[in-house]
């Protein structure tokens, strides 16, 4: 656990964000490994199937993860206020919620996956493999929720290193299982899904065992869990906007996939691979933003609002520099990066074009996400939700549909940075208004330094 309410803001946020970034890189390697092995050994149809599965997975888990994020904010603020009994109650309440949510989401994913793929007109030759991949994946969704729930709690307490260690082990295990199930046992795309499920299960179980022996606050026992209705209601108030935001973002991803699907299997496969690279490129901004959220939550709990502004300035500098370097590297090596996933020339060319257009604007995404981190940490999630939905549903999707007719598939790619620019502008404008300062769970914050 780490107290983020004293010390140099930039150094604290960097040290806290770095393990989270490394952890999320390893977590992303789950999907990257699947895509590389599937693309190289099972072909572009299987590669497209794995890529098409991600928006549907995100759609089903996003609402729950969004609600759980409300608990993480509460945990950070109570920890900042040094109210440990409330930290324990908030933690137990989130665990109980995630357990029952995982059962519901698992059933929905298994039953409706194929119907959704047909609804968005995924190419017919891709649907059987995509549906099989999802059914195996959702059979183990409990382990995904369990591990990510514990990791979120640890981050709320300022511990970003423990999840990293278990993610590294889990990722190495996933790579070994992928090679074994796909190449040696020849289980096809189901083997890639089984590899992910088993790796997530191992990470969750070993992390639980570790915490039960070592952690002073997080001792997991079903018999001792304490449900708190008031804390859950507060979590819903904070987390529901984020949950709805994540759900509509995931629906937007499906809507974009629907537009992409009209351009055929090569484009779907290229979109899948470029999306994996995009996801890795976005991680620094997302983790700086998450670190800033925890930092903001603890400092608001401690009633040190001036430190929040210092933290934002330091985070914008770090994330901005990282975004510029990342953009340059991806634009230079875009063809080589695409070639890691597939040998198909058509898929490589389409994906490289995506990266050339989109990667030059990562600074917009980075700024948008970091500024939003302040609002999320303060518990002010409603307006940021509207900003995200406006940028996606009223800018990105309509522009993608319109420009696709005029410019072909390039039009879809150009709509992405245009939406980022709008989201960045609106987020910064709302931050300057300052309403987020009044949203603290532990009481309104006042500071003479404002």
How much is the pLDDT for 91? 86
Convert the pLDDT of each residue in 37-78 to its tens digit. 999 999 999 999 988 888 888 878 888 887 787 787 788 788
How much is the pLDDT for 447? 42
Residue pair 92/227 in contact (Cβ under 8 Å)? The answer is yes
Residue pair 189/39 in contact (Cβ under 8 Å)? The answer is no
Task: Report the Cα 176 to chain-centroid distance in Å.
Answer: 24
How much is the pLDDT for 445? 40
How much is the pLDDT for 449? 42
Convert the pLDDT of each residue in 226-272 to its tens digit. 888 898 888 888 888 777 877 888 888 889 999 999 999 999 999 98
pTM of the model: 0.76
Handedness of CA 192, 194, 200, 202 (dihedral sign): negative
> Residue 443 — very low, low, confident or very high, per pLDDT cuts 50/70/90?
low
| End-to-end CA, the chain | 29
Convert the pLDDT of each residue in 172-227 to its tens digit. 898 899 999 999 999 999 999 999 999 999 999 998 888 888 776 676 666 677 88
C-alpha to C-alpha distance for 98 and 67, rounded to whole angstroms:
10
**CA contacts within 13 A on the Cβ side of 7:** 13
C-alpha to C-alpha distance for 266 and 259, rounded to whole angstroms:
14
How much is the pLDDT for 222? 66
Does 85 score more than 90 pLDDT? no
How much is the pLDDT for 384? 83
Helix (H, G, I), strand (E, B) or coil at 37: helix
C-alpha to C-alpha distance for 174 and 172, rounded to whole angstroms:
5
> Residue 440 — very low, low, confident or very high, per pLDDT cuts 50/70/90?
low
C-alpha to C-alpha distance for 217 and 228, rounded to whole angstroms:
17
Residue pair 45/129 in contact (Cβ under 8 Å)? The answer is yes
> Residue 117 — very low, low, confident or very high, per pLDDT cuts 50/70/90?
very high
C-alpha to C-alpha distance for 304 and 315, rounded to whole angstroms:
17
Residue with tokens 């107290």: 3
Angle CA 215–220–222, to nearest 5: 165
How much is the pLDDT for 134? 93
Distances (CA, A) of 194 to 135, 154, 414: 10, 27, 36
- Mean pLDDT score of the chain: 87
Convert the pLDDT of each residue in 5-38 to its tens digit. 788 999 999 988 888 788 778 777 767 877 889 9
């Amino acid at each position: 656990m780490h107290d983020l309410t004293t010390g140099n803001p930039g150094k604290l946020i960097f040290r806290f964000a770095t393990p989270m970034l490394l952890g999320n890189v390893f977590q992303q390697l789950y999907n990257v490994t699947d895509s590389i092995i599937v693309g190289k050994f099972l072909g572009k149809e299987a590669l497209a199937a794995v890529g098409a599965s991600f928006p549907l997975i995100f759609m089903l888990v996003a609402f729950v993860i969004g609600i759980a994020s409300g608990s993480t904010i509460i945990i950070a603020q109570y920890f900042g206020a040094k109210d440990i009994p409330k930290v324990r109650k908030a933690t137990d309440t989130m665990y109980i919620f995630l357990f029952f949510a995982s059962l519901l989401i698992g059933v929905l994913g298994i039953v409706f996956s194929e119907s959704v793929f047909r609804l968005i007109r995924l190419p017919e030759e891709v649907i059987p493999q995509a549906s099989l991949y999802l059914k195996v994946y959702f059979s183990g969704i409990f382990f995904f929720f369990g591990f990510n729930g514990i990791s979120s709690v640890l981050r709320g307490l300022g511990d970003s290193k423990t999840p990293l260690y278990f993610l590294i082990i889990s990722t190495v295990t996933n790579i070994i299982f992928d090679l074994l199930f796909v190449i040696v046992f020849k289980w096809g795309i189901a083997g890639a899904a089984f590899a992910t499920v088993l790796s997530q299960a191992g990470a969750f179980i070993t992390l639980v065992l570790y915490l039960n022996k070592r952690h002073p606050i997080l001792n997991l026992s079903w018999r001792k869990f304490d449900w708190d209705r008031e804390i859950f209601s507060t979590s819903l108030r904070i987390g529901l906007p984020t949950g709805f935001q994540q759900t509509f973002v995931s629906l937007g991803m499906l809507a974009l996939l629907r537009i992409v699907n009209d351009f055929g299997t090569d484009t779907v496969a290229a979109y899948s691979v470029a999306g994996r690279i995009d996801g890795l490129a976005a991680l620094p901004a997302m983790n700086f933003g998450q670190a800033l959220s925890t930092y903001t939550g603890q400092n608001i709990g401690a009633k040190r609002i001036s430190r929040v502004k210092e933290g934002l300035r330091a985070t914008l500098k770090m994330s901005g520099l990282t975004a510029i370097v990342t953009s340059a590297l991806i634009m230079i090596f875009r063809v080589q990066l695409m070639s890691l996933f597939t040998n198909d020339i058509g898929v490589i060319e389409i994906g490289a074009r995506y990266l050339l257009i989109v990667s030059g604007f990562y600074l917009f995404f980075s700024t948008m996400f970091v500024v939003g981190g302040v609002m999320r940490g303060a518990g002010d999630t409603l307006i940021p939700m509207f900003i995200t939905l406006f940028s996606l549903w009223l800018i990105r999707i309509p522009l993608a549909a319109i420009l696709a007719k005029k410019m072909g598939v390039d039009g879809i790619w150009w709509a992405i940075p245009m939406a980022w620019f709008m989201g960045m502008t609106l987020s910064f404008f709302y931050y300057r208004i300052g309403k987020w300062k009044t949203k603290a769970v532990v009481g309104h914050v006042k500071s003479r330094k404002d």
